[in-house]
Amino acid sequence: MSANKITISGVTIECIQGDIAAQSGIAAVVNAANAELMIGGGVAGAIHRAAGPRLEEECRPLAPISPGEAVITGGHNLPNRYVIHCLGPIYGIDKPENLLLANCYRNALKLAEEHRIESIAFPAISTGAFGYPISDAAELAFRTIVEDIPKLKFVKTIRFVLFSASDLKVHQETLSRMIE
Ligand code: AR6
C-alpha cells in the first residue's frame, strides 16, 4: 500500500514530488542547511537562489548552527513567509545520527509552533550531500513527527517535498506503514 497523505488528530502529513523552493500556499519551508547558513548545493542552493541575497544577510548573525539545530528567518523572495533552517547530521560522522536527524524535525516544529505557523514543508533532510539512507531517514522523520503531533496547536499541514520519483515512492510506502 502507498499513501500520499494521512491525517492524525487534525494534522495532515502529505508527500509530493517537487521543488522545495516552489511551494506557494505554505507558510514555512525548511532548508537542509549547511552550518554557515550560506548558499550551497541541493536544497540550500535552491532556497537561497529563490529567496535572493537578503536571506544570506539575515542568516549571517545566526550562524554557525550545530547538527540537529534549527533557526528561523523570513522568506524574502520565496513564496513563503518563513524559512526554517535545519542542519542535518552527516551520515557516518555526526553521531548519533538518528537522534540528530530527529532533533531537526522536532526543533523545526517547535519553531513553527512558536511562530503560530499552520503549514510547513520539509525536504528529506540529510539524504543528499550528507548521505543518510533515504528509507531510514523517511521512517525516522515520520515517526518523530507522529510522536510530536499531540504537542501541535498551530501546525495543521506538514508537507514532504521529494525531489525524485523514487524518493517520493519510499516516502509514500513509509507513510502508509504509519497507519497500519
Ligand atoms: N527541492 C526538494 N528536494 C531537493 C531539492 C529541491 N530543490 N534539491 C535537492 N533535493 P541536500 P543534505 C533533495 O544535499 O543532505 C548542501 O550543499 C535531495 O535529492 O540538499 O541535508 C548544503 O549546503 C535530497 O534527497 O541536503 C549542505 O552542505 C534532499 O533534498 C549539504 O548540502 C537533501 O539533499 C546538506 O546536505
Best of 43, 48, 127 to mutate for ligand 1, by most ligand atoms within 8 A of CB? 43
**Which domain, by its residues, includes 34?**
5-178
Specify the amino acid at residue 105: Y
* Number of other CB atoms surrounding residue 100 within 10 Å: 20
pLDDT score at 140: 98
Distance CA 48, CA 37 (A): 10
Provide residues with CB under 6 Å of ligand 1.
Answer: 19-21, 32, 34, 40-44, 46, 88, 123-130, 161, 163, 167
Write down the mean pLDDT value for the chain. 97
Q: What is the pLDDT of residues 2-44, one digit of tens each?
A: 779 999 999 999 999 999 999 999 999 999 999 999 999 999 9
pLDDT score at 2: 73
pLDDT score at 1: 62
Q: Phi first, then psi: give them for residue 19, nearest 5 degrees.
A: -110, 125
- CATH number at 38 reads 3.40.220.10
Q: What is the pLDDT of residues 94-138, one digit of tens each?
A: 999 999 999 999 999 999 999 999 999 999 999 999 999 999 999
Index of the ligand 1 atom closest to the CA of residue 161: 2
Tally of domains within the chain:
1
pTM flag (> 0.85): yes
Name the closest-CA residue to atom 17, ligand 1.
Answer: 41
| Cα 109 to averaged position of ligand 1 atoms, centre (Å) | 19
Radius of gyration (Cα) for the chain, nearest Å? Answer: 15
Query: What nine digits make up the cell of 118?
Result: 499552520
